[in-house]
Structure 1
Amino acid sequence: MAQPRKSAAARRPASRRGTRPAKKAPGKTAGKRPSSRRWSQRVTRESDALDLKRGVFTQRDPKRIAASLKHSAERSSRRKAGAYRSALSMLTFYINRAGKTLSQAQRARLNRAKVELKRQFGKE
């Protein structure tokens, strides 16, 4: 004689029972951690690739921005890609994540810093 089927919960090993979080009602965001709201700020501050100088992206001179990024990228021993690629990635990341809060003048300055970075690495 066949045994009755066990429910899904009964078939699951005891170590995995009850490990799923309870479903929340749609539209409610109870208890979000404040750090999750500014993940891009955390990436620029604690990136595993580069140790950036404070305020590097707010400088006025594109050549100084590019030089600082180049210096940080070349000194880093934790980056996964080449120095040029790491520096350019961090600059692009900052431009993309700043979004609408970046003024047109600062956006243009950072885009000129991209060109300058390319020139400083001899990638023209």
Structure 2
Amino acid sequence: MARKAKKRSYSRSASSDVERQTRRYKKGTAKSGRGGRVKSRKQAIAIGLSEARKKGKKVPKKASKRKTSKKKSAKKSSKRKSAKSKSAKR
């Protein structure tokens, strides 16, 4: 059986933006938004991805935004459950 081809989540040009930022980080010339020096590899990757997003390239949404939306919906449902149980006890 042939496997189904997986769709790319990042565009090739977005990965080149990230690659450019990591090279600048290794060289020591990478700067963050306020002009400070980039201190970690993860920070350099995040800057490259945000630049790609600004240019409109194919990059998934930020993970933090996805997590908060899931947490909010979970909190809402738990509040509803607790409100129902309190009203049932009365």
TM-score with structure 2 setting the length: 0.32
TM-score with structure 1 setting the length: 0.25
| Larger Rg, first or second structure (1 or 2) | 1
- The structure, 1 or 2, with the larger RCO (C-alpha pairs under 8 Å, 6+ apart) is 2
Structure number with the higher helix fraction is 2
